Amino acid sequence: MALLTWSDKYSVGVKTIDAQHANLVGILNELHDAMMKGQANDVTGTLLKKLVTYTRDHFVAEEALMTAAKYPALKEHIAKHRDLTKEVEAYVGRFERGEAAINTTLLNFLRDWLTTHILKEDKAYGPCLNKNGAR
């Protein structure tokens, strides 16, 4: 069973961003599935790194679109991205040192952060990006 199911309610109205968000959901679900199957740390660790890398790349793409559109809340939005990135990178470091494991607490945190961020923060920039040519 998926940890999170992508649906149109998460759409921000920008196809490239929606596709990236759907991919993030897919990677999160892969990680959840691997953890639920008790797969080895090397499998879950690889998926965790994939999630972090894709998230970082997504943030860069999203921020570039917001910058081009002169999104008024860009600075605050970037700060939220940086906060999550620092928190997750710290967790990955603990995981790599054997001090932490992939668990439901981490996955639920990531799911909740992602859904809240999309539904609140990201949906807010959709109209601005659309007005400035992003579809």
- Please write the tens of the pLDDT for every residue from 7-23: 999 999 999 999 999 99
Q: How confident is the model at residue 127 (pLDDT cuts 50, 70, 90)?
A: very high
Q: Set out the domains of the chain in order of their start, with CATH numbers.
A: 24-131 (1.20.120.50)
Contact 119, 111 (CB under 8 A): no
Is this structure's pTM higher than 0.85? yes
Going from the C-alpha of 111 to that of each of 30, 64, 130, the distances in angstroms are: 12, 24, 26
- Please write the tens of the pLDDT for every residue from 43-90: 888 999 999 999 999 999 999 999 999 999 999 999 999 999 999 989
